[in-house]
A and B are shown apart, each in its own frame.
Chain A
Amino acid sequence: MSVTQGSRAKVLDRIRSATASVAADAANLHELHAAIPRSYIRKGELSESAKIALLIERLRDYDADVVECKLEELPDTIAAMLSASGRHTFGAPSGLPAAWMPSGFDWKLDGGLTHEQIEVLDGVVTGASCAVADSGTIVLHHTPSEGRRVLTLLPDWHLCILYADQVVETLPEYFARVQHPPALVTWISGPSATADIEMTRIKGVHGPRHLNVILVHH
């Protein structure tokens, strides 16, 4: 678009003159950024078990249903949770492990489901990439076992399978684990909420109103 090309040069020019006396050479930019002092907490100090306990506490504060189990108990634990939900039709990301899809339920594997098809699902089961205990945050990178973004957005019920070694205490520890920034990230810290009416906190506006977590210990 020729109009915007013209403004691109104009705006960049304005910015260049505005910062002429302070801007660094492109070569030094990385160094300057690396030199920014960071004396905030980069790593937590809780023990493994205290960290897990904190995550569970935070999740339960959000009214998430949290259950712990051992690795070998996982398929049964999933089945129990799905039964207890009273729901029947569940979406699954294309890469969800088969062992995580117990029989007795109607599984819709996401090989390109339409929005309308996802809209009528009772729930969805996914993995996750990480969880941050301090803020009760579940992090999705939308890998094949975590699913497309719409899959964890439209259904009203979401079961997330988390491994204990995926849990970190602080947010900086999550970022430290990420080797290459992913193209898609969703950080989930509780079901949606609003306080727009008289600052009364109402949970569950859009997005799953029911969040369930199975925390798996090796």
Chain B
Amino acid sequence: MSHSVEHPILDPTLAAPFPKAALPVLRDPQLRKNVAHAIDVIQTKRGKLVAEKTDWQELRSAAADIRTHVLENLGAYLEQFEERCTAAGGHVHCASDAAEARQIILDILREENASEVIKIKTMTSGEIQLNPFLQASGVGVFETDLAEIILQLGNEEPSHIVVPALHINRSQVREIFAKSMGRPELSDDPQALTEAARIYLRRKFLDIPSAISGANYLVAETGGVVIVESEGNGRMCLTLPKTLITLAGIEKVVPRFEDLEVMLQVLARSATGERMNPYTSLWSGVTPGDGPQNFHVVLLDNARSSILGKPRERQTLRCIRCAACINACPVYRQTGGHAYGSVYPGPIGAILTPQLMQMRHAQSLPYASSLCGACYEVCPVKINIPEILIDLRAQVIDQQRHNIGRFFDPLYLGLRIAGFLFSRAFLFHAAQRLGRVGAGLFTHKDGWIHSMPSVGGKWTQTRDLRGFPNQTFREWWQNRPARSSTQIAKEPK
């Protein structure tokens, strides 16, 4: 595999902080090109369809309102979903954390003596690190999404939540398939590669009787589960096996079947820039003679309830995992997903990951943003991501206030001191004069600073800074001759 990034760690408890994790990616032209190309394609398609949708803003409002309403009444809707799903023949389980969810799923598979399982892509399973757990417990896991197969066979990690292998180009895919499918003659034509995946999976779909899926939506009114997909592997996994286990975050609920008229319209346009994705499936419980007869839903909390309890952060849970924010993000465009050290990258990852960790890890992620607001502009459920990023930064700083390490953090000290200096005009003025003298030491003959120590050095790595002028604006104003009324010109026509 010809790229410079060592195997990325998508575990927030182990990943390097974002500024460090981003470095090898920034130096990888191939990867940066792959990422930029992929998001340009989706952005162009999305832009065209959103422009054509004259009620796009109204749809966004309705989607945001529906999701807000659900979150505010989540308990009641979850109970309704559980009741309806159970009445329709499904089994509903509730996992308070990742470990519990993994165990519930394993127990169900063991009851079926399952040694293999086919899977539809679900980021939630990545969040709970399900695959390695099942493999270690003797259950072979076969991903069935093309991107997930590429990642699984190539021992790679996802870098996007909708197009997880966007950082891998066709010749890299060819290499992976040729080796792991024993097809050295395979060309790098995407059509041929896709055909190879189709053949590789066909028998697995027909032969493996247990499947695991995620859920795009849970419909409380009917106990129904909705899967939105493009390839058809979802339909295969939902229809052919005997046992189906659906893993879903508790926040995936929508109240009624009819609410899908909003959610499906905003999801397809946002995620893939289509009016509607090729296949959307809905099933409620068990239908005799049609599809899996042993159906389980595993509802996952894993700190979602703690996010729910924070009025300003609750909107994080509105997320429908469309990745529109990721595609719009100018930071993500340069770094790709692995730098975020989580299965959830980009703007949503920057707010969701630290909160799922209950602010014990991933404290660098809220700072992985220039606060440009492009994400908020495109979010179909109007999550004010910049607002939450700022809130989470405040939580990180509040942690740091009690941490002895703060005395060794020049930026922390600098900002505390600056806060003090801004509190009184005379202090601010003195600081300006001192700053002028200090900066003078670093100012070259051309009037610019080319190099500074410490935090300043992070600026001068790539940018010059113009030297401090010898007079502040205030000093100039205070030294102006008094103005008479004749000096104030007439208003121009």
Contacts and interface: CB of A to CB of B under 8 A. Distances in A.
A and B, direct touch (CB closer than 8 Å): yes
A119 B309 CA distance: 50
A75 to B, nearest CB: 28
A199 B73 contact: no
Interface stretch (B8-16, B134-142, B186-194, B474-482): B186-194
A8 B59 contact: no
Interface string B310-334: 0100000000000000000000000
A4 B93 contact: yes
B77 to A, nearest CB: 8
A132 B275 CA distance: 11
Interface string B447-464: 000000000000000000
Contact of B62 (A21, A32, A37, A134): A37
Nearest to A42: B261
A207 B279 contact: yes
B221 interface: yes
Most-contacted residue by chain B among A37, A58, A192, A207 (CB, 10 A):
A192
B279 A194 contact: no
Interface string A173-211: 011101001111111111111111111101001110000
Contact of B261 (A24, A136, A175): A175
Given A40-B262, A184-B284, A15 B308 contact: yes
B278 A191 contact: yes
B75 interface: yes
A188 to B, nearest CB: 6
Interface stretch (A95-103, A122-130, A146-154, A159-167): A146-154
A84 interface: no
> Taking each of B38, B96, B107, B238, which has the highest tally of chain A beta carbons within 10 Å of its own beta carbon?
B96
A22 B312 CA distance: 13
Contacts of A174: 261
Contact of B71 (A19, A186, A193): A19
B56 to A, nearest CB: 9
Interface in B254-293: 255-258, 260-262, 264-265, 268, 272, 274-285, 287, 289-291
Interface residues of B, number: 99
B147 interface: yes
A197 B194 contact: yes
B55 A41 contact: yes
B72 interface: yes
A218 interface: no
Interface in B195-246: 197-198, 201, 205-206, 219, 221-222, 224, 230-233, 235-236, 238-240
A172 B261 contact: yes
B431 interface: no
A121 B198 CA distance: 18
Interface stretch (B298-306, B342-350, B351-359, B417-425): B298-306
A133 B250 CA distance: 34
B143 to A, nearest CB: 12
Contacts of B197: 205
Interface stretch (B124-132, B162-170, B401-409): B162-170
A207 to B, nearest CB: 3
B34 interface: yes
B166 A199 contact: yes
Contacts of B155: none
A33 B365 CA distance: 35
A103 B348 CA distance: 57
Contact of B170 (A17, A18, A175, A197): A197
A142 interface: yes
A199 B41 contact: yes
A198 B170 contact: yes
A19 B69 contact: no
A202 B191 contact: yes
Nearest to B56: A40
Contacts, number: 263
B355 to A, nearest CB: 13
B256 A33 contact: yes
Contacts of B65: 36-37
Nearest to A5: B94
A205 B75 contact: no
A183 B257 contact: no
A161 B264 CA distance: 24
A23 interface: yes
Interface in B69-118: 69, 71-76, 78-79, 88, 93-96, 100, 103-104, 107
Contact of A11 (B96, B193, B279): B96
B55 A40 contact: yes
A206 B198 contact: yes
A3 B285 contact: no
A183 B283 contact: yes
B61 interface: yes
A196 B284 contact: no
A181 B58 contact: no
Contacts of B301: 7, 11, 14
A150 B235 CA distance: 9
Most buried by A among B164, B198, B261: B261
B232 A15 contact: no
Given A22-B72, A41-B55, A12 B309 contact: no
B150 interface: yes
Contacts of B299: 11
Contacts of B74: 15, 18-19, 23
A134 B58 CA distance: 17
A14 B299 CA distance: 14
Contact of B146 (A41, A150, A153, A197): A197
Given A14-B301, A193-B278, 5 more contacts: A14-B306, A14-B309, A19-B71, A195-B230, A205-B146
Interface of B: 34, 37-38, 41-42, 54-55, 58-59, 61-62, 65-66, 69, 71-76, 78-79, 88, 93-96, 100, 103-104, 107, 145-147, 150, 163-166, 169-170, 173, 190-191, 193-194, 197-198, 201, 205-206, 219, 221-222, 224, 230-233, 235-236, 238-240, 250, 255-258, 260-262, 264-265, 268, 272, 274-285, 287, 289-291, 299, 301, 305-306, 308-309, 311
